[in-house]
Structure formats: C-alpha cells, structure tokens
C-alpha cells in the first residue's frame, strides 16, 4: 500500500519498503526491551468510538497496524483492551508470518499483559487458540483455568520496582525479548510513560471529529512533569489521514 511521505523528504513510499525491517531489537536496552507504541486517534484526541478503536483508522492505518506487528518480539496490551477489542492471535496471515521469520522472529509473537486484580477475559478468542501464547504479569497468586492457548503467569514481588518496569526487565533478562510493541490501552500507556519506558510512538491521526469531551483519551491519570519531548522521525499522508512516527528524546 502506498503513502505520500511528507517528512523527512517528500515522495511516495510503500508499506513493504517502510516496514520491511525496522531493526527494533538491535536497539534493546541492557535491562529492558525497546518499547514502541501504536495508537490511532481522531483530530480531537479520541482513541475509541462506541468503545472500539476499529472505527477510527482507515485501511491505511489497518495495513500499518498489521505490519507493525511483524516487527516486535512481543506485543504488550492491557487486559481491558484485549477484552474490549476481543483480541485473537496477533498474526494470522501467512505473508506476515513470513516477514517475521525472514527477520529472525518467531512467526507468532507472544502477547504480554499485566493485571493486579488477577482477572482475565478468558472468553475472548485469544485464549481459545492453541497457537496463541499469552504471558501474564501480576503481583498476586493467581491460577488460570485450562484453555487451549498457552498461558504463563509470572508473579512479581511488590517492591521498589514498579510492575511494568519489573515485567519488562523479566522479558529482557529471562526471556530474551528485545523489542515490544504496545497497543494500549490508555492506562497501560500512561503507566509506561510515567515509568519512562517508551522509546517510540506511532500515531495515526484520522480526519474525524468525535466530540465527547474527555471520553476515550489516549492517556489517563496524572500529567507528566515535565512533559516528554518528542522527535519526529517521519510523517506520511493517505486520503487525509496522517501517520506519524516519533522518538522520545
């Protein structure tokens, strides 16, 4: 699929060229994976309409979304988001599996989530797919009923290290995960930002106004003090939508 590149230079680019191999794993930190986030939002900042994000992005966003999933060692998604969006196995298409294998990744990435309550949406398709692998980080004792998916529960001790920092450290040191793609939701993104764990952001700005005031924001909770400064890496356009890639300075 072709996009018009606005920055850093003008031209036409294809997603196969753009997202063939981002080399995210090579940028891994010694103590945690390289963390990239991906969101789509309306011009007025809403990331969901009627509780779902699917109505915001167009086919260009969906193509970038699918191809970004080929680039990370693992996905990181909040339990509320996997429930609301009814997640299934992250990679299903053979051509996308082939991209992952070509750049040295497992054909299907594990999906990582965190929960302090121990509640998981076991009714969604993700947990009923024998090819799915889910890693759950928590601070409590919890047991998961038998489901077709492979589910691992990792309990982290409460202490000075926040839960997300501890989870990412375990992914890097115990499992060799070098890069993580976070797909939300707002509470998870806010936690990552407050723990200074985000390296890059991909943001689709859809040509829509949804209204609703503060409903469905990209982040929640306390503001960042000071705000994180971003460096624009690229800006693309297709049919009125903007596709932005930022690095956190």
pLDDT for the residue numbered 160: 63
Give residue 112's Cα distance to chain centre: 10
Mean pLDDT score, 74-89? 96
pLDDT more than 70, % of the chain? 99
pLDDT for the residue numbered 249: 94
The first and second tokens of residue 79, run together, are 């339990």
Count of CA atoms in the C-beta half-sphere (13 A) of 207: 8
pLDDT for the residue numbered 72: 98
For the stretch 99-124, pLDDT in tens is 999 999 999 999 999 999 999 999 99
Straight-line distance from the first to the last Cα atom of the chain, in angstroms, rounded to the nearest whole number: 30
For the stretch 193-204, pLDDT in tens is 999 999 999 999
Distance of alpha carbon 189 from alpha carbon 193, whole angstroms: 6
**Residues recorded for the chain:** 249
pLDDT for the residue numbered 121: 97
For the stretch 159-189, pLDDT in tens is 767 899 999 999 999 999 999 999 999 999 9
Checking if the pLDDT of 216 tops 90, the result is: no
Checking if the pLDDT of 87 tops 80, the result is: yes
Number of neighbours of residue 155 by Cβ within 10 angstroms: 12
For residue 73, the surrounding DSSP H or E stretch is none
Sheet containing 74-76: order of strands:
11-14, 2-7, 230-238, 241-248, 200-206, 34-42, 179-182, 74-76, 111-114, 133-138, 150-155
CATH code, 24-248 = 3.40.430.10
Domain chopping of the chain, boundaries: 24-248
Checking if the pLDDT of 47 tops 70, the result is: yes
Check: CB of residue 146 under 8 Å from CB of residue 103.
no
The first and second tokens of residue 124, run together, are 């969604």
pLDDT for the residue numbered 158: 74
Q: Report the predicted TM-score, pTM, of the whole model to 2 decimal places.
A: 0.94
For the stretch 142-157, pLDDT in tens is 999 999 999 999 999 8
């Amino acid at each position: 699929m072709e996009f018009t590149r606005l920055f850093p230079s003008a031209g036409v680019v294809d997603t196969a060229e753009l997202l063939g191999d981002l080399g995210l794993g090579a940028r891994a930190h010694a103590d945690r994976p390289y963390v990239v986030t991906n969101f789509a939002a309306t011009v007025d900042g809403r990331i969901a309409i009627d509780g779902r994000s699917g109505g915001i992005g167009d086919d260009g966003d969906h193509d970038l979304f699918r191809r970004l999933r080929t680039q990370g060692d693992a996905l990181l998604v909040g339990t509320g988001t996997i429930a609301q969006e009814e997640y299934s196995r992250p990679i299903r298409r053979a051509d996308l599996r082939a991209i992952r294998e070509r750049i040295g990744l497992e054909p299907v990435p594990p999906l990582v989530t965190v929960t302090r309550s121990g509640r998981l949406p076991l009714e969604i398709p993700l947990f009923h797919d024998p090819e799915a692998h889910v890693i759950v980080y928590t601070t409590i004792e919890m047991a998961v009923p038998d489901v077709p998916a492979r589910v691992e529960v990792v309990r982290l001790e409460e202490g000075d290290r926040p839960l997300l920092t501890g989870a990412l450290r375990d992914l890097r040191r115990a499992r060799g995960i070098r890069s993580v793609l976070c797909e939300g939701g707002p509470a998870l993104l806010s936690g990552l930002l407050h723990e200074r764990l985000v390296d890059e952001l991909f943001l689709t700005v859809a040509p829509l106004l949804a209204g609703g005031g503060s409903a469905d924001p990209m982040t929640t909770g306390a503001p960042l003090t000071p705000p994180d400064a971003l460096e624009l890496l690229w800006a693309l356009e297709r049919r009125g939508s903007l596709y932005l890639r930022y690095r956190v300075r």
